[in-house]
Structure 1
Amino acid sequence: MARPRTFDEERALDAAMRAFWATGFTGTSTDDLCAATGLGRSSIYNTFTGKRELFLAALRRYSDEMYGRASEIFGRPSPIRDRVRALFEQAIEPLPGDPVGCLVVNSVVELGGSDPEVAELLHRDGERRLVLMRDALAAAQTAGEIAPGRDPEALARFVGATISGMRVAARAGTDRAALAAIADTAIAAL
């Protein structure tokens, strides 16, 4: 009979997510995952099957968490430029405890072209974020906040690409003032 788990699986998954976020799939060893989660190898393998499966679970968790944050921002009744600025702020100033950068962007660069399952997960995540932003921008356009001739989907892609670029720049050490200037320029372009 299998022994019952004596650890919090959600806490372990969150710790693994942050480890992968900080150093990527290849850069995160099983020993790193053991140190981050406080679990032994056997607990990791018994619970998550292996490093790749743990990575996929962590990537799904990250994707859902970031989508939830974006949904909360776009669900606010504030002007669209304020909502987009709030989204940019997450790239400028990560929440306490969050690594710099973006697990999705890092994973696209590291694995997106070589792992079909990761690529599909990343594609689905990108599509749902695109729809969320496009719909918010289209509603703002209907409300007169954005010029009628603008394409809400193209604007949503622009916002997404800007955020991705800001997260890469932050990871490369770009300072807060430079990231804020990028955000200001992008908001002016809406």
Structure 2
Amino acid sequence: MGRPKEFDPAVAVDRAMEVFWGQGYGATTPQQLAARLQIGKGSMYHAFGGKRQLYDLALARYLDTRVQAVGAMLDDPGPAKEVLRRALQYLVETDLERPDRRGCFATNSAVEFGRVDDDVTARVLDFFTRTESAFRGLIERGQRDGEIRPGLDPAATASMLLTAATGLHVLARVEPGPERLVRAVDATLALL
């Protein structure tokens, strides 16, 4: 009979997600992960297989959580423009409230891995596609309700919104305050 696990794997993945999200894959050492997970390196390798496998689990957790959160936020009742404003302001506020200014884990992964890792690229692109689809649904709803210009192409507008949201995450990593980000939100909404 083996020893019982002394840690909760789900909690360990959440803790690993925080480390990778803040530092990136390349800057994170196995020693840092083991310390943050509060387990020995051997236990970490035994439970997860290694740094990359743990990264994959952490990224998957983040993507699943964010797809649900963004979808729920964009499905809120009320005027589409107000729903969109709240969603974009939420991105700005949550990015700026943390002293480590870590941005979006998906965006960070896209920047770090780019086209050099097909698996990460495919998973991040799927996340972006699903987010864009949620934006498109909101645009179409706003057009049906008469508050978003009917001549706008919902697919193109959703792509613009995805680009704006991604850009907000990147800017928030270096901006000292919210002014530029709020202007960008306002300008984006004015285009609708």
TM range, smaller chain? over 0.9
- Is 1:34 aligned to residue 34 of structure 2? yes
- Is 1:126 aligned to residue 128 of structure 2? yes
Match of 1:173 among 172, 175, 181: 175
Alpha-carbon distance in structure 1 between the residues aligned to 2:160 and 2:112: 22
What residue identity is the alignment partner of 2:60?
R
Q: Which runs of 5+ in 1 are unaligned?
A: none
Name the counterpart of 2:104: 102
Alpha-carbon distance in structure 1 between the residues aligned to 2:184 and 2:85: 11
Q: CA deviation at 1:99?
A: 5.0
Match of 2:140 among 135, 138, 141: 138
Identity of aligned residues (%): 33
Q: CA deviation at 1:90?
A: 2.7
Alpha-carbon distance in structure 1 between the residues aligned to 2:113 and 2:186: 31
Count the aligned residue pairs.
190
Q: CA deviation at 1:16?
A: 0.7
Alpha-carbon distance in structure 1 between the residues aligned to 2:149 and 2:12: 47
Instruction: Give the TM-score, by structure 1 length.
Output: 0.93
User: Residues 136 and 117 of structure 1: is their aligned pair in 2 closer, same or farther, counting only changes over 3 Å?
Assistant: same
Q: CA deviation at 1:69?
A: 1.3
Alpha-carbon distance in structure 2 between the residues aligned to 1:167 and 1:93: 10
Name the counterpart of 2:161: 159
- Is 1:186 aligned to residue 188 of structure 2? yes
What residue identity is the alignment partner of 2:53?
E
Instruction: Give the TM-score, by structure 2 length.
Output: 0.92
Given that 1:20 and 1:55 are in contact with CA atoms closer than 8 Å, whether structure 2 keeps it comes out as yes
CA RMSD of aligned residues (A): 1.7
What's the secondary structure of 1:25's corresponding residue?
A: coil
What residue identity is the alignment partner of 2:107?
V
Name the counterpart of 2:150: 148
Alpha-carbon distance in structure 2 between the residues aligned to 1:33 and 1:50: 10
Name the counterpart of 1:55: 55
